[in-house]
Structure 1
Amino acid sequence: MSERDSLAASPLTGHAEALLLFRRAHESGRLHHGWMIHGEPGIGKTSFAFACARLLLGGTDPQSRAGRQITAGTHPNLLLITRHMDEKRKRMRQEIVIDDVRPVQDFLHHTAADGAWRVVIVDAAEALNRNAANALLKLLEEPPTDTIFFLTCPAPSALLPTIRSRCRLLGLDPLSDEETRQVLSRHGRAADSLPALVAQAQGAPGRVLASDQSTDDAARQLAQALLEGRTVIEPDTLAGLLRHDDGFAVLCSLLGEGLANRARQLAGQGKLTEASKAAEAFASLQALQRETERFNLDKNQAVRQAAAIASAP
């Protein structure tokens, strides 16, 4: 089972206040039809969405019938929308395309089993391309009865304003060190490595879990240099990065994480103009990645464009 596939099965660690907020909204009888779950990469946004789905579908007990179905991915009232394999290139797409969203229509045309909620989770909604985003927007504009949408993304600015305006925003805070330790232990990280990994995670254990799976050290070194304002890209560094099929995607992910962190830090310091520029850079980077992958553009040039976006003041 991959890290992503295990999200439905893993218990939620942390985020107790956010879950309580959602639970109270549910109990009030005035539950909003669209929720945008946002927070830095690796913080547990999708795990949180699944926890909310378990609450709505009566599957909080993993041993119950509904609980087992959610874990197995077979619950008739739950649909996960995410990126899929590009069969031509034999690798994971970097964007969610219209074909990935079309199953929602069939899903919503069926009456919910047992008269319960229907739940749609859009994982990494920032990866929606324009057509997919517009298709989702139409569903959010006229939401079917007893249907809840959860969209996960690093920052609300990563999505269309029209989509944001139709969702209730719910931000997740970083996990504590102890919560981070629990997540890493559950995913098999050795006890003697935990202190260093917890420090590296900075409250987002998924960041460590993802980095363990990446063999592209060049992307990490280059991202750090660009975020520090060093704009010269050595030819050997660029060649090393693009030697891997996912090198450009990894670089964009790391740069996006850095820009999102920068925007939050600047906003926290009251530097709203600078924070807005960092958020705009994040959105530009996301657009560059989508267009590069969609049209198979020259990644050498795309890396240099990404560098200009990330290193701009």
Structure 2
Amino acid sequence: MIEGLEIPKAHDSIEGVAGPSASDYITGHDEIAAFLAQAYREGRMHHALLFEGPQGIGKATLAFHLAGHMLAHPDPARAPEKIIIPDFSKPLWRQIAGGMHPAILHINRPFDQKTAKFKTGIPVEEIRRVTHFLTRTASDNAWRIVIVDPADDMNRNAANALLKTLEEPPARALFILVSHSSGRLLPTIRSRCQSMQFKPLDEIALRDAVTRIGSSIGLDADTITPSLLERSEGSVRNALLLSAYGGIEISDTVDAILGGPVFDLAKAQTLAGAVSGREAEVQYGLFRDYLMGRVAAQALGLAQSGQLRDAEAWSRLWGDLVRETSEAETYNLDRRQAVLILLQKTYRAFQSGAPSLA
């Protein structure tokens, strides 16, 4: 963490781990970083960039590195050939880390003071801040940079509001949309962005990143096993959550329930209780993401083997799970009961082999 500086919390923050705006470390994306640095130097930077790829691999971190690089070198022709590494001893980078730089607007899920929780998405009110931000007079003709993180969290009204701005962007404005699941974005938004495809980290890069970042939350080398790296699927975030928050135990239990000859209600109730407490937000997120990941993997595998009808059925199930979890979170429904329903529904699909029969 950065001494003497309070870093804003986000809905997906991991306690003890520096967020994207406050991280000076990134690995595995040298080609994308080099492309962006060259595009900026040559004055051909697209006004809207879409950073696509799994969560937890460095997309948002690179977005802030690029923003700081541009603000530190407002004249593209004089910018370095490589994106500079943040130096949090300098005022520019401390402002960025603390969410206080006037030329950067970071849009993410807002914190609801009434419920004392982060909202489940990005509402249109947040996107309206973009219009106000861009209409302010920039000092010294400086860049103004909007980072939407993640853009997948925008509701329909928010997405439409952003689209209007993307269609008529002001001069010296850059939009960076971070996307973990680009299929949830409006096609019209995608069409107005230049896509950057971020790949999951390979094993060497992942091990190095987890070793370095994990030290801040007490992970040691013995914790970073080949099994952990394999389950993490190239995501530093996944590795940290799996190792520090019981994610391996949660995924093992889900696998045991889905693969059992009968639905193990006792085991399901124990799991539901473990991920449903007031202090179990991270564990609930791990459960939700892993369960839906199992369903998504089924859909992808079937699609790749040409079984498109079955793949569509599993995709519909995935959409149902997304909707049901969103409704449970939005309306503050009984989380324990919601977890049991999700498990039962998914179990029936795996047992029958076809969600349409579940």
Q: TM-score range by the shorter chain?
A: 0.7 to 0.9
Residue 127 (structure 1) shift: 1.9
Residue 157 (structure 1) shift: 0.4
Whether 1:204 and 2:235 are equivalent positions in the alignment is: yes
Equivalent residues in 2 for 1:1-313 (5 A)? 1=1, 3=14, 5-10=18-23, 11-58=25-72, 60-63=84-87, 64-187=90-213, 188=215, 189-196=219-226, 197-212=228-243, 214=245, 220-221=251-252, 223-224=254-255, 232=263, 234=265, 236-237=269-270, 238-244=272-278, 246=281, 248-261=284-297, 281-297=317-333, 299=335, 302-303=338-339, 306-307=342-343, 308=345, 311=349
Find the structure with the greater CA-based Rg: 2
Name the SS for the 1:242 alignment partner.
coil
Residue 172 (structure 1) shift: 0.8
Structure 1 stretch displaced more, 93-102 or 35-44: 93-102
Conserved in 1, the CA contact under 8 Å of 2:223 and 2:243? no
Instruction: State the structure with bigger RCO (CA 8 A, min sep 6), 1 or 2.
Output: 1
Residue 125 (structure 1) shift: 2.1
TM-score, normalised relative to structure 1? 0.81
Cα-to-partner distance string for 1:237-271 (whole Å, 9 max, x where unaligned): 43444345636544332234445555565666666
CA distance in 2, matches of 1:83, 1:301: 25
CA distance in 1, matches of 2:333, 2:238: 28
CA distance in 2, matches of 1:108, 1:24: 25
Structure 1 stretch displaced more, 211-220 or 51-60: 211-220
**Identity score, percent:** 35
Conserved in 1, the CA contact under 8 Å of 2:21 and 2:97? yes
CA distance in 1, matches of 2:51, 2:258: 26
Residue 71 (structure 1) shift: 2.9
Unaligned runs of 5+ in 2: 2-12, 74-83
Residue 15 (structure 1) shift: 0.7
For these two proteins, the number of residue pairs brought into alignment is 313
Residue 30 (structure 1) shift: 2.9
Conserved in 2, the CA contact under 8 Å of 1:36 and 1:152? yes
Residue 207 (structure 1) shift: 0.6
CA distance in 2, matches of 1:40, 1:157: 12
Residues 1:61 and 1:175: Cα distance change in structure 2 (over 3 Å): closer
Residue 169 (structure 1) shift: 1.9
CA distance in 1, matches of 2:322, 2:202: 29
Residues 1:299 and 1:9: Cα distance change in structure 2 (over 3 Å): closer
Conserved in 2, the CA contact under 8 Å of 1:98 and 1:135? yes
Aligned to 2:76: none
Residue 44 (structure 1) shift: 1.9
Residues 1:268 and 1:18: Cα distance change in structure 2 (over 3 Å): farther
Conserved in 2, the CA contact under 8 Å of 1:158 and 1:283? no
Cα-to-partner distance string for 1:135-190 (whole Å, 9 max, x where unaligned): 22222232222211112222210222232222222211121222212222222131
CA distance in 1, matches of 2:262, 2:290: 16
Residue 75 (structure 1) shift: 1.9
Name the SS for the 1:121 alignment partner.
strand
Cα-to-partner distance string for 1:8-54 (whole Å, 9 max, x where unaligned): 12222121112223233334433222222121222222112222223
Unaligned runs of 5+ in 1: none
TM-score, normalised relative to structure 2? 0.72
Name the SS for the 1:181 alignment partner.
helix
CA distance in 1, matches of 2:258, 2:150: 23
